[in-house]
Amino acid sequence: MTGLSDSIAHFVSGGLAVPDEAARIVRTGFIDAVATMIAGRNEPVVGIVQQFVAARLSAAREARVLFGAGRASAADAALINATAAHALDYDDVALGGHPSAVLVPAVLAEGERLGASGAEALRAYLVGYEVWAELLSREPDAYHLKGWHPTAVMGTVGAAAAVAHLHQLSPANCRNALAVAASMASGLVANFGTMTKPLHAGRAAAGAIEAVRLAAMGLTAAPDAFEHQAGFLAALSPKGRAERERAASGLGRQLRILDAGLSIKKYPMCYSAHRVIDALLDLAKAHDLKPQDVVHVDATIGEAQASMLRNHAPATGLEAKFSLEFAIASALVARKVGLAQLTDTFVAQAPLRELMGKVRIATVDTRCPIEPVFALNDRVVLELRDGRKLDSGEIRFARGNAKLPLREEELKAKFLDCVSGAERLDADRLYRVLNRLDEQESLRMLG
């Protein structure tokens, strides 16, 4: 193993022991991704992508679409399913992005085509997660502040690693597949709050499958695509601070998923707002706050978080998903920040818009060592008409964070709520099967 690309390829091609705790975390990722995938099935962006796939007139019926009766090629199924999983911005968070929304659809679609077992799918997810984490760790500068969406740029490569592992490719073919995926990777933060953001996840999952199949057919690529001076890491690091020379010799030895885990969202909004939402809901309940009680709301968050929460006067529910002003106003006006509030009608309400104008946002230049895209802490201070100031204090983790996880019953409740209304779907059975994924003989039995 002479370099970074070669060492990653050998890791992807080889075996990997899966500790029980890692398996539990990965099962959680599958459960949450399937839930949000089904919940997002009727979003306009998903309909558009389905029309796009149908227009290809592909005869392939390799994998299920949205756990329904429809089928498509594995790449097209991954494109639709990953777009759906990210369409509501309700999917899990880690590694600066949304790993399960990319990894799960790619692994399920290609795994179904290959007849992979649940244990093989779980292990492939873990391989993809670890490669994503390895590459992300090599750049000290926040990707979001440079305009890159890690779900798209890291997700394409991470999912390719997962799919290559499923295929049991040789190290040389793994290296080619990853290099092809690295050239496919793209996704801009400027598109947050539009239909294109969930398409990032869809294209990452589909591109991963395409990259692996091309490499398996003999397509060649650079043997040093990650470490080359004009390669993947250098291209994403304009300041040239990415660590490119060191081989990834530690991959698989100390699993990063055991440290970073997966954070499950309680609110269908950009995760950058969740700590503030928790604090506002707590303060509103504890002090029985009314919107008219509030003079100003001062929120302090990290710089990268603020760059994602870019819509300061959202006009639609989709734009509101990336607005801290909306999140704060919804928490105070409705005492909720859920799917029912993320509608164009609710966003247009006068009391909500009035409160949005009372929000002031400051940023702090600190970094969480676990989630570097976030500040070490967030904080909210409310100034009330009666002269009081209510201070949330430092908010370390959002509820549902890997360090403050949801209870089993909360995870199941979210799953059942997300899949409710899906036709011909036995929700309880699907939850049980996903929760025992590593015991399933074939992914074809999930339907």
Residue 35 in domain: yes
CATH number of the domain within which 133 lies:
1.10.4100.10
Q: Are residues 260 and 365 in the same domain?
A: no
Question: Beta partners for 327?
Answer: none
SS3 296: strand
Q: How far is CA 173 from the centre of its chain?
A: 27
- Angle, CA 122 vertex, CA 117 and CA 128 arms, to 5°: 125
Q: How far apart are CA 23 and CA 35, in angstroms?
A: 18
First and final CA of the chain: distance in angstroms? 41
**Which residues of 40-150 form beta strands (DSSP E)?**
63-64, 71-72
The DSSP letter of residue 191 is G
Residue 40 in domain: yes
Q: Are residues 228 and 361 in the same domain?
A: no
Q: Are residues 261 and 289 in the same domain?
A: no
- Phi then psi for 380, rounded to 5 degrees? -135, 135
Q: Are residues 341 and 214 in the same domain?
A: no
Q: Sign (positive/negative) of CA torsion 220, 224, 225, 226?
A: positive
Residue 75 in domain: yes
Q: Are residues 165 and 52 in the same domain?
A: yes
Residue 335 in domain: yes
CB 18 within 8 A of CB 123: yes
Where in the sequence is the domain holding 230, given as residue range(s)?
Answer: 4-265+412-445
98: its two tokens = 């949304």
Q: What is the DSSP string of 31-44?
A: HHHHHHHHHTTTSH
Residue 401 in domain: no
Q: Are residues 210 and 277 in the same domain?
A: no
Q: Are residues 433 and 299 in the same domain?
A: no
Helix (H) / strand (E) element for 300: namely: strand 294-302
Q: Are residues 355 and 255 in the same domain?
A: no
Q: Are residues 329 and 221 in the same domain?
A: no
CA distances (Å), 151 to each of 91, 107, 133, 316, 340, in order? 12, 16, 12, 23, 26
CB 207 within 8 A of CB 106: no
268: its two tokens = 């269908």
CATH number of the domain within which 352 lies:
3.30.1330.120
Residue 400 in domain: no
Q: Are residues 319 and 423 in the same domain?
A: no
Q: Are residues 277 and 151 in the same domain?
A: no
Q: What is the pLDDT along the chain (447 residues), one digit of tens a residue?
A: 568 999 999 999 998 999 999 999 999 999 999 999 999 999 998 988 788 777 675 668 899 999 998 999 999 999 999 999 999 999 999 999 999 999 999 999 999 999 999 999 999 999 999 999 999 999 999 999 999 999 999 999 999 999 999 999 999 999 999 999 999 999 999 999 999 999 999 999 999 999 999 999 998 999 999 999 999 999 999 999 999 999 999 999 999 999 999 999 999 999 999 999 999 999 999 999 999 999 999 999 999 999 999 999 999 999 999 999 999 999 999 999 999 999 999 999 999 999 999 999 999 999 998 888 899 999 999 999 999 999 999 999 999 999 999 999 999 999 999 999 898 899 999 999 999 999 999 999 887
Q: Could you give the number of structural domains in the chain?
A: 2
CA distances (Å), 30 to each of 246, 252, 411, in order? 32, 20, 12
Nearest to 89 by CA among 208, 192, 207: 192
Q: Are residues 208 and 91 in the same domain?
A: yes
